[in-house]
Structure 1
Amino acid sequence: MEHEIKKLAIYLTNLGKYNEGALVGEWVTLPTDAEKMQAVFQRIGLGEEYEEYFITDYESSIGIQMGEYENIDELNYLANKLDDLYPNELEKYEAILAIESTTTIADYINLTENMDCYDVISNVDSKSDLGQFAMDELNSEILEHMGDFASYFDFEQYGHDLDIEWAGDFVNGNYVYHNGESSYEHYTGKRADIPEDYVVTDFKLVEKKSIKAMLEDKQGEVKVEVEKGSQNKEIEW
């Protein structure tokens, strides 16, 4: 594969051509800029005749997941936020993803601003290690008072109880958990909230709605027509 696989890459496809039986698309590594994105649009035939696109494939080195009809500007916003993270911060971000139910690109973006709400305990990959860490770092005086009896302490059971209380998980040799700090919604999902420097779709492209969304719209139209018909009948009577 010729594209550069970094944190995020998408295969952008011309939907109109796809419906005609031709797969016309290109790999795009994010983040990118408007000039490069416009060049991609031109190469895959997006413009006046074909306006709709979708994502037929994607790759992420840190476990980002997405749907076929994500907004490119929003994805580029996320990619820029990830690009701003230091290596140790990116490692922590990836670990947090293993314990969080992140379902939207907005969630991924907001997580970059809320990583202080999580703690990562290094070199702790078992409940016994977790119990040992907690006693050594948080309750060392108890062990000192126990003296020779400290060797009989059940670190695994203590770690088991802490794991239930903290609701974390063991990820890549570390323990990750939410530390109780409140998280904040920095990005609401509105396109206007995306910094202008990260917007790459200069001309209007229509993203293809999902089948579910189209069906919901159709049902809404039918409902309106039925209601209008009922009102007309009442007037006739």
Structure 2
Amino acid sequence: MLKLYITDLSAYNNGFLVGEWVTLPLSGKELYLAIQQVLNEGEYLCQSDSIHEEIFITDYEWMGLELFNVSEYDSPWDVNDDVGKVLELSESKQKAVAFLLSQQITYDVDDAIGKADDVIIHENQTLEDVAYYLLQECYELDKLPPIIANNIDYEGVARELDCDGNYFEVDGDVFEYCG
């Protein structure tokens, strides 16, 4: 879930910080009512004849996994839709979407959702761990003579994987992007 602080722009320009925290996702009606409440309060405080229509996002806070960044002039409606789409996904797909957006492999939530199946998450592992398992899987290291098996440079293989551009270490996990 995502908390947004929605602020009345006209009130802000007149020296008043009028806003409200809303927790997304919301239904369209709930979001509309929350925005109208902020705008109505801003009109009342400014005591002017002008109608307040513009808002901006002053702050945001993820509760749990940070999925994407939000800027002050993003549409709360679009952000609400994106949060709703991502929260329908499994936890591992949410993590994959967050990875794709944070590493700027894509900039669009819908595109990231489409590419989430192209991400393999090696949880609680390092690149060196992944290198070991990759070599074990491909070359059956237990069948190699000990003089060879015991002298493989897994750290060096991990460096090569890092340079490959398909492996990323993020927050204690290794993400493999196969797209």
With normalisation by structure 1, the TM-score equals 0.63
User: For residue 122 of structure 1, what is the amino acid of its counterpart?
Assistant: E
Q: 1:20 aligns with which of 14, 18, 22?
A: 14
Unaligned runs of 5+ in 1: 1-5, 182-237
- Say yes or no: does 1:132 pair with 2:132: yes
**Could you say which structure has the greater relative contact order, defined with CA pairs below 8 angstroms and 6 or more residues apart?**
1
For the 8 Å contact 1:99–1:168, the answer to whether it is kept is no
3-state SS in 1 of match to 2:169: strand
Name the structure 2 match of 1:123.
124
Q: Which has the larger radius of gyration?
A: 1
Residues 88 and 167 from structure 1, CA distance in 2 versus in 1: closer, same or farther, beyond 3 angstroms? closer
- Say yes or no: does 1:153 pair with 2:156: no
Residues 21 and 102 from structure 1, CA distance in 2 versus in 1: closer, same or farther, beyond 3 angstroms? farther
* In 1: Cα distance, 2:91 partner to 2:16 partner: 40
Q: Number of aligned residue pairs: give it.
A: 168
More strand by share: 2
Unaligned runs of 5+ in 2: 44-49
Report deviation, 1:23.
0.9
Matched ranges for 1:54-93 at <5 A? 54-60=56-62, 61-63=64-66, 64-93=68-97
User: For residue 173 of structure 2, what is the amino acid of its counterpart?
Assistant: N
For the 8 Å contact 1:96–1:176, the answer to whether it is kept is no
With normalisation by structure 2, the TM-score equals 0.82
- Percentage identity across aligned positions? 27
Kindly report structure 1 stretches of 4+ aligned residues shifted beyond 6 Å: none
User: For residue 38 of structure 1, what is the amino acid of its counterpart?
Assistant: Y
RMSD: 2.2
User: For residue 65 of structure 2, what is the amino acid of its counterpart?
Assistant: I
Residues 10 and 65 from structure 1, CA distance in 2 versus in 1: closer, same or farther, beyond 3 angstroms? same
